[in-house]
Amino acid sequence: MTGDRYGSEIARVTVKAFRHLFPDLARSLPDLYIFHTDLLYERLETPKNPEMGNYALPLFDLAKITRKNPAEINSELTVVQNNVVRKDENLAHLSFEAVGGFNNARVSTAKLAESVLKDIAKKADDYGSSDEGSGKNIVIDFSSPNIAKPFGVGHLRSTAIGASLYRVFEKLGYKPIGINHLGDWGTQFGKLIVAYRLWGSEMMNKDPITGLYDLYVKFHKEEENDPSLSDKAREAFKALEDGQQEEAELWKEFRDLSLQSFMQIYDLLNVRFDYYHGESFYNDKMDITMDRLKKAGLIMESEGAQVVDLEQYDLPPCLLAKADGATLYATRDIAGILYRWQEFRFHKALYVVGSAQRDHFKQVFKVIELLEEAEGTPPEERIRSRLHHVEFGWIKFQDKAMSTRMGNIIILEDVLAKATRLAREMIVAKNPNLSDIDGTAEMIGVGAVIFADLSTRKHIDVNFDWDAVLTFEGETGPYLQYTHARLCSLVRHYAREIPPVSDFSCFDRQEENRVLDLLYRFPQIILEAAETYEPYVISSYLLNLGAAFNKVYQRKDDAGRIDKIISDDINLTAARMALVNAVRVVIREGLRLMGIEAPEEM
């Protein structure tokens, strides 16, 4: 219940009331959750409908234990609760109400306003920050596109989720270490080298990445008619692995070209990495890794390949080396884990990789576990429990998987460019005097694309839908940016320092309570996003906050006129501006955590 002051208070009052109501039960079943503040706190829910209050406790199971009607317990309970609260002026802001089997608790809007607005005014952008992660490294492996292939929308999820988790953990005081595990090694380079030698001159005079991509697609097409190409590709890769100069030079050229083009995209997305250790980075660590696994007695030969048998764990064998001796990606991942542990002593290592690779990570993590057992690593040095595969669903297009090989892919740069162009048109139509039209259009276009990607839970497969990404209305990034821009506009209109609020009693409406309740929960939302590795928690929260505020912003008085934030009533205006500023700060910070910029005007 860290930080949730009101929840704790409600739990305490309720436990007190239960002890009073059920003294016999407290003796016979002292461990029952209703007699323990922390256990009862765990049972508190947020009411379905905000009008029902700020917290709710369902009493149905209690009805069973006490053999009483839940509604009856509830009405007796609320009488006692309200009595307790009335007698203690420190708790006078709480009230309880019985609604069927739900015991609903409310925090007075004025009190909520006082604590939340003061807190946010003081901490500003640091609201919701903590130092719980202080001194702890979190390795985040994300994005990891394949060299020599275009950066498709399929790679957006890993990039957006990873970049967001990076910021979330950083806000909680951890030291995140972002690693881009580039796919810069493997048999596809054999294919590219062969393709380049055969058709390179005709393809490579256009844009290099498009050229490489065309070569890749062409290779796969030709391979169907000419199986000997596959053998040539294998040979070329073998030559590369053996360090043949000609192959190595080609590889380096492909890698440099790709990296250059990826950097443009990362700049647009505002994503950065601490390391670009791709797969090739581990080439010189493979022998040591294999030796270590051999020494631990984990490796056996099977059908010519070197494997770790995992049958007793219900997993297919983990392949470490092919029959021809070439290593595989599992080997590189294992080497990567060992290297990262040695280098960073991470508290956790996250692998933001699609769910298609679930079995792969299960295998790799299991091998690590077996290695630690075999080597007798002391418990505090073991890393298995620190490793997490943060998996997510596919991005499909028209219900089909996108495939680079088939040439059926949507290029992220095109999507970003299209969204930005559309945003620009909108600005020109609506706010042509805006000073930085191009810069703002980019923030909006890119923000729309990122938000769309982070606005569904990560585990489900999503269909890429041009319309969904290019919509700026409703539950979208631009909706939040727009709300934020209007808040900034209010601050500009107010045109003076927002003074400390002296009287919070003007916050007395349901809609304001809702906004304040959401602001109050922001720190918990960040924690939840970190615990579940789920940026969606933040996007959905921000939409609720935006909608709740817009309701306040556009409410009307009895005469049907907009009840303005800025009015002749100086004190009322100052108080409302404190609320405006708080919402502005939280939306801007929330968007930042998602990797989205918030323009002050749009």
Partner RNA sequence: GCCCCCGUAGCUCAGGGGAUAGAGCAGUGGUUUCCUAAACCAUUGGUCGCAGGUUCGAUUCCUGCCGGGGGUACCA
Q: Kindly tell me which residue out of 305, 411, 417, 572 binds RNA, with binding defined by CB under 7 A.
A: 305
Helix H, strand E, coil C: the string for 493-529 is: HHCCCCCCCCCCCCCCCHHHHHHHHHHHHHHHHHHHH
Contacts with RNA by CB under 7 A: the residue count is 96
Binding of RNA by 284 (CB under 7 A): no
**Minimum separation from the CB atom of position 338 to RNA (A):** 17
DSSP for 303-356, please give it. TTEEEE--GGGT---EEEE-TTS-B-HHHHHHHHHHHHHHHH--SEEEEE--GG
Cβ at position 380, least distance to RNA in Å: 31
Could you give the CA distance from residue 452 to residue 58 in angstroms, rounded to a whole number? 35
Q: Note the residue count of the chain.
A: 602
513 binds RNA (CB under 7 A): no
Cβ distance to RNA smaller for residue 160 or 326:
326
What backbone phi and psi angles, to 5 degrees, belong to 295? -60, -35
From 521, 493, 426, 408, select the one nearest 55 (Cα to Cα): 521
The contacts found for 247-254 with CB under 8 angstroms, 24 or more apart, are 247/193, 250/192, 250/193, 250/196, 251/189, 251/193, 254/147, 254/148, 254/189, 254/192, 254/212
Could you give the CA distance from residue 239 to residue 346 in angstroms, rounded to a whole number?
A: 36
Q: Which of 60, 206, 438, 439 forms a contact with RNA (CB under 7 A)?
A: 60
Contacting RNA within 377-436 (CB under 7 A): 393-394, 396, 399, 401, 423, 426-427, 430-431
Question: Which residue number, 50 or 200, has a Cβ lying nearer to RNA?
Answer: 50
**Rule CB under 7 A: is residue 307 a binding residue for RNA?**
yes
Nearest CB to RNA, comparing residues 152 and 183: 183
Binding mask 534-573 for RNA (x = CB under 7 A): --x---x--x--xx--xx-xx-------xxxxx-------
Residue list 27-46, contact with RNA (CB under 7 A): 45
Pick one of 1, 39, 52, 259: the residue that binds RNA (CB under 7 A).
Answer: 52
Nearer CB in complex with RNA: 66/377: 66
DSSP 434-469: -S-HHHHHHHHHHHHHHHHHHSS-TTS-EEE-HHHH
Among 3, 23, 316, 407, binds RNA (CB under 7 A): 316
41 or 174: whose CB is closer to RNA?
Answer: 41
Establish if 162 lies at the interface with RNA (CB under 7 A): no
What CA–CA distance (Å, rounded) separates 112 from 131? 24
User: Of 324-363, which residues contact RNA (CB under 7 A)?
Assistant: 324, 326, 328-329, 355-360
- Asked if residue 519 binds RNA (CB under 7 A), the reply is no
Q: Which of 50, 101, 173, 200 binds RNA (CB under 7 A)?
A: 101
By CB under 7 A, tell whether 65 contacts RNA. no
The only residue of 265, 485, 529, 545 in contact with RNA, by rule CB under 7 A: 485
Shortest gap between Cβ of 427 and RNA (angstroms)?
4
The helix (H) or strand (E) run that includes residue 370 is: helix 358-375
Nearer Cβ to RNA (61/503): 61
Closest CA to 405 of 122, 64, 152, 140: 152
Nearer to RNA, 137 or 289 (CB): 289
CB atoms within 10 A of CB 35: 18
Does 82 participate in binding RNA (rule CB under 7 A)?
Answer: no
* Distance in Å, CB of 472 to RNA, minimum: 4
Q: Are 194 and 219 in contact (CB under 8 A)?
A: yes
* Direct distance between the N- and C-terminal alpha carbons of the chain, in angstroms, rounded to an integer: 39
Is residue 67 part of the contact set for RNA (CB under 7 A)?
no
> Residues 216 to 275: which contact RNA by CB under 7 A?
none
d(CA 92, CA 86): 6
Specify the residue, 64 or 206, whose C-beta has the smaller distance to RNA.
Answer: 64
Of the candidates 153, 88, 33, the one whose C-alpha atom is nearest the C-alpha of residue 469 is 153
Mapping DSSP to helix (H, G, I), strand (E, B) and coil, where does residue 583 land? helix
> Which residues, 135 to 154, sit near RNA by CB under 7 A?
146
Check if the beta carbon of residue 392 is closer than 8 Å to that of residue 344. Answer: no
Q: How far is the CB of 333 from RNA (least distance, A)?
A: 8
Pick between residue 137 and residue 149 the one whose CB is nearest to RNA. Answer: 149
Of the candidate spans 186-194, 204-212, 240-248, 582-590, the one that interacts with RNA by CB under 7 A turns out to be 186-194
